[in-house]
Structure 1
Amino acid sequence: MWARIVALVIKEFLALLRDKASRFVLIGPPVIQLLVFSYAASFDLNHIPYAVYNQDAGFASRELLARFTGSSTFEQVATVRDEARIAPLIDDKAALLVLRIGPHFTRDLLAHRPAKVQILIDGRDSNTASLALNDANGVLLAFNQHWAATHGWQAPPARLDIRPWFNPNLLSRWFIVPGLVALLTLVVTLLVTGLSVAREREMGTFDQLLVTPMRPAEILLGKAIPGFIIGGLEGAFIALMAVAWFHVPFVGSVLALALGMFFFLLAAIGIGLMISSLAVTQQQGLLGVFLFMVPSIILSGFATPIANMPEAVQMLTTINPLRYLLVIVRGVFLEGSGVSALASQYWPLALIGLASMTAAAWLFRHRSS
């Protein structure tokens, strides 16, 4: 039995490696997506273009503006001398925000009175505007604290002391790159398994495979093992790249990550074989893979929190294996989670894997009879 399965596994690998397009699909897109997502997909803002409309000639306004100039987050693109110039700067997207300092800014501060600073910001992209405002508030808070300490202001009754856990510098790359371990592993595994049976049908070798001494279960196992090996190697490679190239900390247990990958690959391979068993051609298999992949990514929590989704949609995410692996990889990379802490994620993955493999076996027998 095992000799026949090994022979089928070798045949699957040879079919993949001999085909130039298949070799490219396994190597090219995952590497390209890893680099593009890691460098381009970011929630951090750098070099925010801003303009200054300073109506105050005092030293306090110059000190505040010096903090914006010295910040690596902001980049001054214009100095406004006339209020009429503010609207064109924002309308033409030359500046994301305009910092407006009133004529009595320094005088009010020296008199221990609140001094207002107005920020006019382009709100067409609400997410970008919110991030820019947070960065500007950070600069203003630092100025306020320094001014209060050097000019004899009484300290405020409560001081906000912010200490982010797991990601001290709040780098979005530390959040995105571990998620790519799960995302790209899913992509490669589905492509390998989702086209395997369909490729046999399209090439006319499926009937030949059925008349061999191999039982349907052996054929299915021989189709699943290459996807398991390739998906595991792909996930390990991306995890190593995350640590070595993108310097994302790995503070958890390797065993915890490996166990999560095992159950996830089981689920992904089952889904891929279900798609491949239903497809007649490779084109149908490819369409089926993408039909599953797009909602799977949207409903995984990769980009948007699941808690923000409607309750009915949240229930739907419980059958999505990518949801659980994202929790596992981010927990292992950033939180230092071990096997016991992630037990609540393992058993749903195991159930999904068992159900998908059972369904794939039934579909394979039904379609081959």
Structure 2
Amino acid sequence: MASRILALIIKEFLALFRDKKSRLAVIVPPILQLLIFGYAATFDLEHAALAVFNEDTGAFSRELVGRFERSTGFEIVGYLRSEAEIGPLIDRQAALLALRIDEQCSANVTRGEGCPVQVLIDGRNSNTAMLALNSVRSIVTDFNEERAEIAGSKLPARLNMRAWFNPNLESRWFIVPGIIALLAMIVTLIVTALSVAREREAGTFDQLLVTPLRPWEILIGKAMPGLIVGVGEASLIILVAVYWFRVPLVGELATLYPALIIYVLSIIGVGLMISSFSTTLQQALLGAFLFIVPAVTLSGFSTPIANMPDFMQTLTYLNPMRYFLTIVRRVFLEGAGLEYFWHDLWPMTIIAAVTLTMATWLFRHRMY
């Protein structure tokens, strides 16, 4: 029995890597997505276009503008001479925001009064706008605190912040570990979803039925390549995350890999179910795509689950990526052990058992 299954596994690997379409689907998309997400997907604000309209000529306003000039979050794209220049600049998206300082700013500060500073921002991209406003608020707050210390006065309340697990609040440390869950799912799903559909389209599936292999042996033979490729792909991304993107791996691989194997098995079950229903490669790819999009959306990869409506939050409990995403991020950044993940492991294990059982049932009934 073991020799028959091993022969089928070898045959599946040969079929996978001999087919140009399958080979490209396994190798090229994960590499491209890793580079795109690793470099382009970021919540950090850098070099946001800022226009300055400084009506004041005093030292206070010049020092305040200098803080923005030295900030890596902003790039000064122009110093305006009139209020009328602000509107057209933002309308044509030449500047994300404009900083306007009142002409009496320095004089008011000298008299012990406040300095009016106005920020006008392009709100068409609300997420970027909020990031920019938070950066402006941070710069102005730090500037005020330093001025108060120089003047010998103390603010009533002073905020001291310390970020645990991600001291510099780098969004890459949050995104790159999530790519491990994302790409492991995509690759595993494609490999398993195409397995039976490829044979049906090539006309070799009937030949497989007349072999001594039993249905469950065929299922194992078609599941193993997905498990090996999925875990191998995830291992490669872990290496890239640690040694290329410099994301710290605080936890142990011995903690991460049991969860990874369970996660890949749950995706294999879904992929084999899709493969059982599909008669062509196009149908299998479409079925995989229809699963991937909602799975990523409902996983918390880019948007917090807590911000979703209640009925959508309930649907996330059926998504294995939701659980593994939590595990991989906590292992990377917190160094948490398996004892912290039982509430994530057992639902993912149930999902894997259910999907593999359903795939076995569908596979047996679709064979005959």
Same fold (TM over 0.5): yes
Provide the secondary structure at the position in 2 that maps to 1:118.
Answer: strand
Q: Which residue of 1 aligns with 2:150?
A: 150
Q: Which residue of 1 aligns with 2:119?
A: 119
Which is further off, 5-14 or 104-113?
104-113
Query: Equivalents in 2 of 1:309, 1:71: separation in Å?
Result: 34
Q: Which residue of 2 aligns with 1:93?
A: 93
Which is further off, 86-95 or 6-15?
86-95
Query: Equivalents in 2 of 1:290, 1:83: separation in Å?
Result: 50
Q: Which structure 2 residues correspond to residues 13-162 of structure 1 after superposition, within 5 A?
A: 13-152=13-152, 154-162=153-161
Query: Equivalents in 1 of 2:264, 2:166: separation in Å?
Result: 28
Spell out, residue by residue over 1:222-258, the C-alpha distance to the aligned partner (whole angstroms, 9 max, x if none). 0000100000000000011011100111101211210
Spell out, residue by residue over 1:189-248, the C-alpha distance to the aligned partner (whole angstroms, 9 max, x if none). 000000101111111111111111111010000000010000000000001101110011
Q: Which structure 2 residues correspond to residues 309-328 of structure 1 after superposition, within 5 A?
A: 309-328=308-327
Query: Equivalents in 1 of 2:285, 2:86: separation in Å?
Result: 51
Q: What is the CA distance between 1:17 and its match in structure 2?
A: 1.6
In the alignment, does 2:248 pair up with 1:261? Answer: no
Q: What is the CA distance between 1:20 and its match in structure 2?
A: 2.1
Query: Equivalents in 1 of 2:19, 2:41: separation in Å?
Result: 32
Provide the secondary structure at the position in 2 that maps to 1:120.
Answer: strand
Query: Equivalents in 2 of 1:83, 1:282: separation in Å?
Result: 60
- Name stretches of at least 5 consecutive residues in structure 2 with no aligned partner: none
Q: Which residue of 2 aligns with 1:245?
A: 244
Q: What is the CA distance between 1:21 and its match in structure 2?
A: 2.2
Query: Equivalents in 2 of 1:198, 1:253: separation in Å?
Result: 38
CA RMSD of aligned residues (A): 0.9
Q: What is the CA distance between 1:185 and its match in structure 2?
A: 0.4
Query: Equivalents in 1 of 2:266, 2:254: separation in Å?
Result: 19
Query: Equivalents in 1 of 2:53, 2:183: separation in Å?
Result: 47
Query: Equivalents in 2 of 1:124, 1:211: separation in Å?
Result: 62
State the one-letter code of the partner of 1:213.
P
State the one-letter code of the partner of 1:58.
G
Query: Equivalents in 2 of 1:83, 1:205: separation in Å?
Result: 73
Q: Which residue of 2 aligns with 1:308?
A: 307
Q: Between Structure 1 and Structure 2, how many residues are aligned?
A: 368
Q: Which residue of 2 aligns with 1:221?
A: 220
Q: What is the CA distance between 1:26 and its match in structure 2?
A: 1.4
Q: Which structure 2 residues correspond to residues 186-225 of structure 1 after superposition, within 5 A?
A: 186-225=185-224
Provide the secondary structure at the position in 2 that maps to 1:52.
Answer: strand
Contact 1:255–1:339 (CA<8 Å) still a contact in 2? no
Q: What is the CA distance between 1:308 and its match in structure 2?
A: 0.8
State the one-letter code of the partner of 1:158.
A
Contact 2:148–2:155 (CA<8 Å) still a contact in 1? no
Q: Which residue of 2 aligns with 1:337?
A: 336
Query: Equivalents in 2 of 1:288, 1:10: separation in Å?
Result: 26
Provide the secondary structure at the position in 2 that maps to 1:112.
Answer: coil
Contact 1:251–1:332 (CA<8 Å) still a contact in 2? yes
Q: What is the CA distance between 1:182 and its match in structure 2?
A: 0.3
State the one-letter code of the partner of 2:277.
L
Query: Equivalents in 2 of 1:65, 1:127: separation in Å?
Result: 24
Q: What is the CA distance between 1:88 and its match in structure 2?
A: 0.8
State the one-letter code of the partner of 1:73.
G
Provide the secondary structure at the position in 2 that maps to 1:76.
Answer: strand
State the one-letter code of the partner of 1:245.
W
Q: Which residue of 1 aligns with 2:283?
A: 284
Provide the secondary structure at the position in 1 that maps to 2:51.
Answer: strand
State TM-score, norm by structure 2.
0.98
Query: Equivalents in 2 of 1:49, 1:214: separation in Å?
Result: 65
State the one-letter code of the partner of 1:95.
A
Which is further off, 252-261 or 226-235?
252-261
Spell out, residue by residue over 1:77-123, the C-alpha distance to the aligned partner (whole angstroms, 9 max, x if none). 11111111111111111111111111111122122212221111111
Query: Equivalents in 2 of 1:298, 1:170: separation in Å?
Result: 23
